[in-house]
Amino acid sequence: MCGIAGWVDYAADLTQDRDTLLAMVRTMAPRGPDDEGLWLSPHAALGHRRLSVIDLEGSRQPMAAAAGAESAVLTYSGEVYNYRQLRAELRSAGQEFSTAGDTEAVLRSFLARGADAVAGLDGIFAFAVWDVHREELLLVRDRMGVKPLYYCPTPTGVVFGSEPKALLAHPAVGREVDGDGLRDILSVAKNPGHAVFRGMYEVPPGCMLRVGRGGSVLHRYWQLEVREHTDDLPATVQRVRGLLEDVVAAQLRADVPLCTLLSGGLDSSTLTAFAAAAAAAGGADPVRSFAVRSEPSANDDHVYARLLAGHVGSRHTEVLVDTAGLLDAGLRAGVLSAYDLPLAKGDEHASLLLLFEKVKQHSTVALSGECGDEVFGGYRWQRNPDAVHSGTFPWVHSGRHRHRGLDDLLAPDLLKGLDLAAYEQDSHASAVAEIDTGSLADPVEARFREVTYLALTRHAQVLFDRKDRLSMAHGLEVRVPFAAHELVEYTFNIPWALKSFDGREKSLLRAAGRELLPEAVSARVKTPYPSVVDTGYDAGLRAQLAAAVRGGTAPLLPYLDDGLVRDVRRRGADALPGELSRAALETVLQLDSWLAEYRVRVAL
């Protein structure tokens, strides 16, 4: 997937700032272990770390090209799956190619069509194009926001990169978090464009940022829209199956070893089955699959993964994770370093980091079932009327009990000032305002359409971030076929009655893949990603928090409840409330580590 970084400054000569650009780029060495490139001009500096996936010997970046009176330079991360079609179209229009990959197809598309070229790109991507003659920078992010792209405006330009750490290596970017940043950390409502660090932003999914001497302009080039669905049930199932076949086949293209991440659930099993069928039809070797199994086990995922692997003939590997090791300080530091932000699910993220480390030893690209639940309606909260009609994010309404205890840990004045409840309501209201459901006569269906929109544009973003950071920390590219925009656009407007026609979750996906799956897998009820079931894990978290409080130097101490701090200093972990949730403990510990390791200043 690679890592990109750079900046534009209209008041400086950036040819003298090679060391700064190099420092930014090298923060992302794990994203691109195969190559490094820099390009500097008086007002633009572009850098790149490469993970070679297509055209291994060519396609070095940043890549410069010229066509007539126009010239441009590109630093690009991602995969454009229709690059062969684009290359053919551009050749017929007179463009000449010197490489065999998708990078040059993206660059020459912009030479030929300007910013309108993004409409013709089918894939997951984040890139920067510098127009040499106009002295303009274009930052572009894929429709669903699978690949990250951060930026920080400056008085005379902009700094950008694939991850916050790249921007933080630039002297113009500060390390502060304000009230809004803390609200993003402590709430469970992802707001597109927010980046937690003060003055830092994300290019929102489906958007591009144009930067010139007169300032910057954010433009949305893609948006989900409510439309009429005219297909009946058989036609809908057939269309879904056809889309999945096409999407998976396109995403199997790579010049490096490829695999699937197989949990044994419906999403990953269907994906693996389609991949196995496509590989067999194309005369390729059997697809490889990987599953994680924890000890002690939280569920039977690995049993169903084995069943599916045997059914479709994949070369299957189980990665055993010892849950006792998930509290290891080095492992947790690795998660924080990969993510750049504090998290509330330390055990899940730690096990994923271990999984990706093992997968990378055999494969460079992995297909994941991420976003299947958002697309096809797989979560319990999508079928819970109380959650759906709660007036807020339904997963927040359903999951509050899993985050209980933050009020006991944090200072009352801090919580009062942050007013997380109001922030949550405002976030929900602004999200719903983005989609117009006025054409739907049934108010219940209108709300279900809103919930699907929230799932695709808010909930899925957290999952994409998780997969991107933790996989790229080991130089593993993860592709997400269920997030293909053509599939998302079609399924978004399918009425809820069709999406749940058999009274179960993910009815359409189950019907589309039924012929490829064993009955036990096809009929299986969704289970969440396994969390640690060992109570010793929670006890370990409590002991770590008590040690941090008693140590007296934890940067989070001023923001904890004074009475709690006094009690913990006297009695240790026994003073912590017994009903503290794991998420509350993880959040506070991660926040403390983040403030310390990233030298973040709290500005309230």
Annotated binding-site members:
102, 261, 292, 368-369
Q: Is the dihedral of CA 522, 524, 527, 532 positive or negative?
A: negative
Q: Which residues of 592-603 are buried (b: 16+ CB within 10 A; e: fewer)?
A: bbbbeebebebe
Could you tell me which residues are annotated as the binding site for ATP? Answer: 261, 292, 368-369
Annotated binding site for L-glutamine, which residues? Answer: 102
Cα 70 versus chain centre, distance: 34
Report the alpha-carbon distance of residue 542 to residue 539 in Å, rounded. Answer: 5
* Annotation says 2 is catalytic: yes
Could you give the C-alpha distances from 62 to 146, 165, 291, in angstroms and in order? 21, 20, 36
d(CA 166, CA 77) in angstroms, rounded, equals 14
* Residues 208 and 455 sit within 8 Å (Cβ to Cβ): no
Element (H, E) at 77: strand 70-80
Classify 251 as helix, strand or coil. helix
Contacts of 295 (CB under 8 A, 6+ apart): 320, 321, 322, 323
Distance linking the first and last C-alpha atoms of the chain? 36
Residues 6+ apart with CB under 8 A from 429: none
Neighbours of 3 (CB within 10 A): 29
Main-chain phi, psi angles of 10, to 5 degrees: -85, 0
CA dist., res. 28 & res. 386, Å (int): 43
Task: Spot the catalytic one: 2, 207, 259, 371.
Answer: 2
Distance CA 395, CA 454 (A): 10
Q: Are 379 and 527 in contact (CB under 8 A)?
A: no
The token duo for 306 is 């084995």
Q: Give the span between the Cα atoms of 504 and 501, in whole angstroms.
A: 7
Structure tokens at 115: 């910013």
| CA–CA gap between residue 204 and residue 488 (Å, rounded) | 17
Active site residues: 2
